[in-house]
């Protein structure tokens, strides 16, 4: 059931949505994609909602795509297109969307964080776009990272593919503020929500429209080019070796010394 992988709790004018695959560090699979699509569709129609908080269960936000469900060919194209649509839909919601990050926010999880309006993290949070280390590409998430950090820092994240801690993430603009631990993070998010709820609903929604009008996050044609690039890499030998190396906890052949 889609409800099992994305828990929703209504708190007045705020909806708290929690990715709920803790054994998989809340990795994205088909069920999670469907649950996120349903969440976005519902929130887009519910103007009584003022804020949406996206978090992860079990100490992690989201580790990215579940590599056990990596597909090739037309299925890879469709999956990557869906990811792009989810990021765009999340960003376009009339509500203020807050990402509440603990633990890992990697790959697609990093994309979800960057598509939110506001991002807050606990001190143990870590961020990465490790796709090239798996023989893949950070396709649909790249424009959203670049929006958050600027092109130069985005280039470093997707090319070096290293893990960034919470303090560094704050320095480069990935997150707005860092809290000491998960409890302090929850308090911080509540404080931010209290401020947000002081804003008029339609004024907030119109402000988001104006922010979007400053320029498109995803250039025309990029989404399809990204999907094609991801599908090409997913079907290649590098992805097969990179994913196998990841599962075997070793360096891939191209990185071995």
Q: The tokens 């990596």 sit on which residue?
A: 70
Domains of the chain: 2-196 (3.90.226.10)
Instruction: Give tens-digit pLDDT for 204-239.
Output: 999 999 999 999 999 999 999 999 999 999 999 999
The runs of H, that is alpha helices, within 197-234 are: 201-213, 222-234
For 91-119, the pLDDT digits (tens) are: 999 999 999 999 999 999 999 999 999 99
CA gap 138, 145 in Å, rounded? 10
């Amino acid at each position: 059931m889609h409800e099992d992988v994305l828990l929703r709790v209504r708190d007045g004018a705020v909806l708290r949505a929690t990715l709920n695959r803790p054994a998989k560090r809340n990795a994205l699979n088909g069920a999670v994609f469907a649950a996120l699509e349903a969440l976005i569709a519902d929130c887009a129609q519910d103007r009584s909602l003022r804020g949406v908080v996206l978090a992860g269960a079990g100490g992690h936000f989201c580790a990215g795509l579940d590599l056990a469900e990596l597909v090739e060919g037309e299925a890879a194209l469709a999956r990557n297109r869906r990811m792009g649509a989810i990021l765009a839909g999340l960003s376009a919601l009339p509500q203020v969307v807050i990402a509440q990050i603990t633990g890992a926010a990697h790959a697609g999880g990093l994309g979800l964080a960057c598509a939110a309006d506001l991002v807050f993290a606990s001190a143990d949070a870590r961020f990465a776009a490790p796709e090239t280390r798996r023989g893949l590409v950070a396709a649909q998430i790249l424009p959203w990272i670049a929006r958050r950090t600027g092109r130069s820092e985005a280039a470093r994240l997707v090319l070096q593919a290293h893990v960034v801690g919470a303090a560094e993430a704050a320095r480069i603009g990935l997150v707005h503020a860092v809290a000491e631990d998960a409890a302090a993070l929850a308090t911080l998010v509540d404080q931010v929500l209290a401020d947000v709820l002081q804003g008029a609903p339609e004024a907030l929604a119109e402000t988001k429209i104006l922010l979007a009008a400053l320029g498109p996050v995803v250039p025309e044609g990029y989404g399809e080019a990204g999907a094609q690039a991801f599908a090409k890499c997913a079907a290649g030998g590098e992805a097969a070796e990179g994913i196998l190396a990841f599962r075997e906890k070793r360096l891939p052949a191209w990185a071995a010394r």
